[in-house]
Amino acid sequence: MASGSDDAQVISNKQVILKDYVVGLPKDSDMYVSTNSTIQLKVPEGSNGIVVKNLYLSCDPYNLVFMRKPVSDSYAFVKRVSDSHAFVKPGSPIIGFGVAKVLDSGNPNFKKGDLVWGTTVWEEYSLITDLQDIIKIQHTDVPLSYYTGILGMPGLTAYGGFYEVCSPKKGEHVFISAASGAVGQIVGQFAKLFGCYVVGSAGSKEKVELLKNKFRFDEAFNYKEEPDLDAALKRYFPKGIDIYFENVGGKMLDAVLLNMREHGRIAVCGMISQYNLDKPEGVHNLMHLISKRIRIEGFLVFDYYHLYPKFVELVLSYIAEGKIVYVEDIAEGLESGPAALVGLFTGRNVGKQIVLVAHE
Amino acid sequence: MASGSDDAQVISNKQVILKDYVVGLPKDSDMYVSTNSTIQLKVPEGSNGIVVKNLYLSCDPYNLVFMRKPVSDSYAFVKRVSDSHAFVKPGSPIIGFGVAKVLDSGNPNFKKGDLVWGTTVWEEYSLITDLQDIIKIQHTDVPLSYYTGILGMPGLTAYGGFYEVCSPKKGEHVFISAASGAVGQIVGQFAKLFGCYVVGSAGSKEKVELLKNKFRFDEAFNYKEEPDLDAALKRYFPKGIDIYFENVGGKMLDAVLLNMREHGRIAVCGMISQYNLDKPEGVHNLMHLISKRIRIEGFLVFDYYHLYPKFVELVLSYIAEGKIVYVEDIAEGLESGPAALVGLFTGRNVGKQIVLVAHE
């Protein structure tokens, strides 16, 4: 595919390369930054793709799906994502959500200068040919980085998970694990604004303070300081939990099952405590599902993309009215990307972890 | 409470007594048959209860709830059941579902000669004062014992569980564990009549034959002969399971989770493999809930009592048209009750286990 134009600029393109498939949790040594690649800043003749300059890259547990050797279950994720990017192989740059600026377009829906968010590549510039999850940014009166978070995939995850999967009722008691993370902090604020009692767990004093003082959760606790999670939950939920927004799995889920109320709902968004285990921990208290008629439901954000316009409208109005806040942890430069991503899985970040690649 | 009439007949009343709280699974020695009690066959003056002659008693996993030392979770069950019977203490007769004939009534809704089903006591005659789950039998052109099964609690459990909790669609692939039991055999036939592909598991060759030849399941297998449950499920569901009707829990649930299709549903009716364990087995594959967006929901029949008339109409028409069959395992005489109940938990029964106390 030759360039459509003789003056097409070819420049160096820094990338974060997957060195080998990740086993367990990602390590710094699983990735390296390369300056060996170049890119032409024009879409190839006949392509209806776009060439973008990547501005922000998003660090999500989700990234890991594309860094591990594919297994059957990966397909459910991958088939929703750009075919061209599916199943990153060692030696190729890693992929994930990001915010980017269109430099050239072969597609009638996008033009030079447009800002977009969606699945992109961990590199300075990308040619994106599969545009199924690329969304044009319409509102730029908020920080652009928000489109990796509160106005992007994590925000829509929180929206679909809370309003659709949890079927909340005003006054219900809501528990959120990994509550200061990209999704948890939004779910908690949605739940508070909806009129629920909200408690979150997190893994440091600093995060607990954030939950209570910044996000205005009713209560929050550091799970690492609780030798007995069941006792901790009974302290904050003497009458039980109506809604559990599950981000961690394992022992926390077992403790929650002991404390659910009748007809309670558990929305399973993630199980980050299990991702590094060869065999996930056993969950022993599922019998409580019967006597309490509990519903547990797993979900993926892709099933809620049709709600994106409604979601953006709500969140922008909340932001404008100062009713919702968002905390980001921004690592500067593509070089800092691997460490930022690795830190996500050990809880090193405070708030939504982002990599700033370039200013607009 | 003196008798309202001088000629009130006082007769001997054989009972099955709980000797001590059951630990683990029930044993024959946990119960004994006593002839020490007497009963007056008239309702006491001023009572709006009924005196009944018990005809059939139903052996269900459910009985065990009232034979163990009460724990917090028992309350969800017990509060739906007659207050007067709640929390059977050692030395008292055990309780459960049954079919009975009204001998005397202080209640305008019941008259002498009426046939009823609902919660009764394991004895020849009972005074029932809490009538909240006592239902008058309107259709007697079917075996009365059916009201302990296909037209009673297990039938309504199958109906609510399949049509309401499983949200079935025609052509879906359905798996049922403990499939030849009181509930499973009905769920399977409902699913076949609904247009689903249906596979059941059971614990003996005889039960597997029953599933295939009598209940017309598409396939059935003996889980005791399958060293690898995952492989067995893959054999019968090469494209995966849409609906799992869960009666057993533990290892089977773990294997099922590996074989569920996207947007699959699991209705949790029971977990009989776990009832004898101090600590239930761990379930390890819950992460599959997320990528496949699976819903697991526990339920109790009590939430579906409002559907009873609709359910009876459907099942009676199926019975009349010969579209549905029901297999019972009838133990004769109250004396045989303890062994029949004990056998239920080791799978000794073939079909719905009932105790015949007396003919009408």
Please check whether residue B241 is in contact with residue B197, taking contact to mean a CB–CB distance below 8 angstroms. Answer: no
Of A2-16, A155-169, A304-318, B267-281, the range with the lowest mean pLDDT is: A2-16
Is 70 exceeded by the pLDDT of residue B78?
Answer: no
For chain B, how many structural domains are there in total? 2
Rounded to an integer, what is the distance from CA A131 to the centroid of its chain?
19
Per-residue model confidence (pLDDT) at position A107: 97
Q: Is residue B315 part of a domain?
A: no
Structure-model confidence comparison of residues A359 and B70, the more confident one: A359
Inter-chain CB proximity A291 and B299 less than 8 Å: no
Inter-chain CB proximity A298 and B293 less than 8 Å: yes
Residues A216 and A128 in one domain: no
Q: Is residue A72 part of a domain?
A: yes
The helix (run of H) or strand (run of E) holding residue A186 is helix A184-194
Residues A175 and A292 in one domain: yes
What ipTM was reported for this prediction? 0.90
Residues A91 and A178 in one domain: no
Please list the residues that pair with B179 across neighbouring strands: none
Q: Is residue B282 part of a domain?
A: yes
Residues B120 and B185 in one domain: no
For chain B, the average pLDDT equals 92
How many contacts does A have with B, using Cβ atoms within 8 A? 111
Residue B1: pLDDT band (50, 70, 90) is very low
Which CATH number fits the domain that encloses residue A15? 3.90.180.10
Per-residue model confidence (pLDDT) at position B277: 81
Inter-chain CB proximity B290 and A296 less than 8 Å: no
Q: Is residue B104 part of a domain?
A: yes
Of A317-331, B86-100, B286-300, the range with the lowest mean pLDDT is: B86-100
Is 90 exceeded by the pLDDT of residue A53?
Answer: yes
Of B249, B282, B297, the CB nearest to A282: B282
pLDDT digits (tens, 9 = 90+) for A259-281: 999 999 999 999 888 877 888 99
Share of chain B above pLDDT 90, in %: 83
Inter-chain CB proximity A297 and B294 less than 8 Å: yes
Is 80 exceeded by the pLDDT of residue A287?
Answer: yes
Inter-chain CB proximity A299 and B290 less than 8 Å: yes
Residues A33 and A126 in one domain: yes
Residues B72 and B199 in one domain: no
Is 60 exceeded by the pLDDT of residue B173?
Answer: yes
Phi, psi of A26 (to 5 degrees): -70, 145
Taking contacts as CB-CB distances below 8 angstroms, the residues of chain B near A284 are 279-283
Per-residue model confidence (pLDDT) at position B301: 92
Residues B183 and B267 in one domain: yes
Which CATH number fits the domain that encloses residue A264? 3.40.50.720
Structure-model confidence comparison of residues A360 and A109, the more confident one: A109
Is 50 exceeded by the pLDDT of residue A1?
Answer: no
d(CA B159, CA B68): 28
CB atoms within 10 A of CB B350: 17
C-alpha pair distances (Å), B42 with each of A142, B7, B82, B118, B173: 79, 9, 20, 20, 53
Q: Is residue B311 part of a domain?
A: no
Inter-chain CB proximity A280 and B280 less than 8 Å: no
Chain B interface residues (partner A, CB cutoff 8 A): 73-74, 76-77, 249, 253, 262, 268-271, 274, 279-300, 303
Inter-chain CB proximity A294 and B289 less than 8 Å: no
pLDDT digits (tens, 9 = 90+) for A228-254: 999 999 999 999 999 999 999 999 999
Taking contacts as CB-CB distances below 8 angstroms, the residues of chain A near B286 are 249, 253, 268, 271, 280, 283, 296
CA angle A351, A356, A360 (to 5 degrees): 130
Taking contacts as CB-CB distances below 8 angstroms, the residues of chain B near A287 are 73, 249, 271, 274, 280
Structure-model confidence comparison of residues B289 and A72, the more confident one: B289
Per-residue model confidence (pLDDT) at position A82: 46
Q: Is residue B317 part of a domain?
A: no
Residues A239 and A185 in one domain: yes
Q: Is residue A312 part of a domain?
A: no
Residues A224 and A103 in one domain: no
Residues A118 and A72 in one domain: yes
Domain end position, chosen among B287, B302, B317: B302
Smallest Cα distance from B262 to chain A, Å: 8
Which distant-in-sequence residues (6+ apart) come within 8 Å of A305 by Cβ? A133, A156
Chain A interface residues (partner B, CB cutoff 8 A): 73-74, 76-77, 249, 253, 262, 268-271, 274, 279-300, 303
d(CA B169, CA A140): 44
Residues A163 and A141 in one domain: no
Inter-chain CB proximity B295 and A295 less than 8 Å: yes
- Residue numbers of the domain that contains B210: 153-302
Of A291, A296, A299, the CB nearest to B73: A291
Q: Is residue A268 part of a domain?
A: yes
Please check whether residue B244 is in contact with residue B175, taking contact to mean a CB–CB distance below 8 angstroms. Answer: yes
Residues A129 and A228 in one domain: no
d(CA A183, CA A245): 10
pLDDT digits (tens, 9 = 90+) for A111-158: 999 999 999 999 999 999 989 889 999 999 999 999 999 999 999 999
Phi, psi of B190 (to 5 degrees): -55, -45
pLDDT digits (tens, 9 = 90+) for A301-341: 989 999 999 999 999 999 999 999 999 999 999 999 999 99
Per-residue model confidence (pLDDT) at position B79: 55
